[in-house]
């Protein structure tokens, strides 16, 4: 059980309109935490269920952090462009948030990094996240760094793309499809955030956030197919050709960096989530079924 250090915990979520930010925000707000969302003006604040304040590169973030107990930093990109590089966003925005938090004397920061980030992984995406982590660790702030695997749930673009492909009865798989990952359900992640905010066990630690099951990408496609009752044709595409195509046509299809993450076989254990914070992730099969049921329910509501 969470024990609060004050009657109402006040938290800001940077990136509140993103998939992760809006789900965490709803969960925390529905469980008695005073949440304000901060967003760079991308997307809509409708149906998020909390106040969203727009900020820009010219805005002094410190003023938004004053009087808060914690900032949850969810901003990040998994593919880059000429206008937005990994260094600019994953590291640069983190650096700015840290400086503002220190200036505002903010007690705590919770940062969403990524599974596979460490000092030895020098691929550009992972390096940008690692540098962001080091910025936070060296800031003097009380921190919790989360390194999640794929976070699935309603509105998850990764799973949505696969569902659309399966409904179209044709799925492309890069290489063998046997590379593994540990999908974790969005509501389990949101509950972990809730437990972290009320626990001293989360002070100055790095936590791997993964599901209970380790499955291959091919198995993941098969589980989605089973859940929606459609068996598609599977086209296996040579992995080297996929990399060459991504290099020739950046911005179209899957990027080199996204391929690196997909086939990386980055694995861990949910032990910390379960033993320290009492969050037992649901199985992939259950997570997918919940995702599809909620997505269908939302679609039915919109069509009424």
Q: Closest Cα to residue 74, out of 104, 35, 102, 119?
A: 35
Fold of 10-148: Rossmann fold (3.40.50)
At residue 208, φ and ψ (nearest 5 deg) are -80, 130
| Strands laid side by side in the 34-39 sheet | 51-54, 34-39, 10-14, 70-73, 108-112, 142-148, 205-209
Q: Closest Cα to residue 158, out of 79, 73, 244?
A: 79
Could you tell me the residue ranges of all domains in the chain?
10-148
Q: What is the pTM of this model?
A: 0.91
Distance between CA atoms of residues 236 and 263, nearest Å = 14
Q: Closest Cα to residue 187, out of 302, 85, 294?
A: 294
Q: What is the pLDDT along the chain (304 residues), one digit of tens a residue?
A: 444 444 579 999 999 989 999 999 999 999 999 999 998 765 544 445 667 887 765 567 888 999 999 999 999 999 888 889 999 999 999 999 999 999 999 999 999 999 999 999 999 999 999 999 999 999 999 999 999 999 999 989 999 999 999 999 999 999 999 999 999 999 999 999 999 999 999 999 999 999 999 999 999 999 999 999 999 999 999 999 999 999 998 878 889 999 999 999 999 999 999 999 999 999 999 999 999 888 765 544 322 2
- Reported for 73-76, long-range contacts at CB under 8 A and 24+ positions apart, including other chains, are 73/14, 73/15, 73/97, 73/109, 73/110, 73/111, 73/112, 74/13, 74/14, 74/15, 74/16, 74/18, 74/20, 74/21, 74/24, 74/112, 75/14, 75/15, 75/18, 75/40, 76/15, 76/112, 76/114, 76/129
């Amino acid at each position: 059980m969470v024990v609060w250090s004050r009657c109402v915990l006040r938290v800001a979520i940077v990136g509140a309109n993103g998939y992760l930010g809006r789900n965490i925000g709803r969960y925390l707000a529905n469980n008695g935490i005073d949440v304000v969302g901060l967003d760079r003006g991308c997307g809509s604040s409708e149906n998020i269920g909390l106040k969203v304040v727009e900020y820009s590169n010219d805005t002094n973030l410190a003023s938004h952090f004053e009087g808060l107990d914690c900032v949850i930093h969810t901003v990040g990109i998994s593919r880059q462009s000429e206008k937005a590089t990994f260094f600019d966003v994953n590291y640069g925005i983190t650096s700015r948030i840290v400086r503002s938090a220190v200036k505002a004397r903010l007690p705590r920061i919770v940062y969403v990094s990524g599974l596979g980030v460490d000092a030895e992984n020098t691929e550009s995406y992972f390096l940008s996240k690692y540098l962001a982590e080091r910025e936070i660790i060296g800031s003097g702030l009380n921190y919790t760094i989360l390194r999640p695997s794929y976070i699935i749930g309603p509105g998850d673009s990764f799973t949505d793309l696969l569902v659309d492909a399966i409904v179209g009865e044709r799925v492309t798989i890069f290489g063998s499809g046997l590379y593994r990952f540990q999908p974790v359900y969005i509501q389990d992640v949101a509950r972990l955030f809730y437990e972290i905010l009320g626990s001293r066990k989360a002070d100055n630690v790095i936590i791997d956030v993964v599901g209970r099951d380790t499955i291959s990408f091919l198995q993941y496609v098969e589980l989605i197919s089973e859940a929606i009752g459609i068996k598609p044709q599977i086209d296996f595409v040579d992995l080297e050709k996929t990399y060459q195509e991504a290099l020739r046509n950046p911005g179209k299809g899957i990027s080199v960096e996204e391929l690196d993450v997909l086939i990386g076989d980055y694995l861990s254990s949910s032990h910390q989530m379960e033993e320290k914070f009492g969050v037992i992730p649901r199985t992939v099969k259950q997570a997918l079924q919940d995702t599809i049921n909620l997505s269908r329910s939302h679609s039915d509501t919109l069509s009424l």
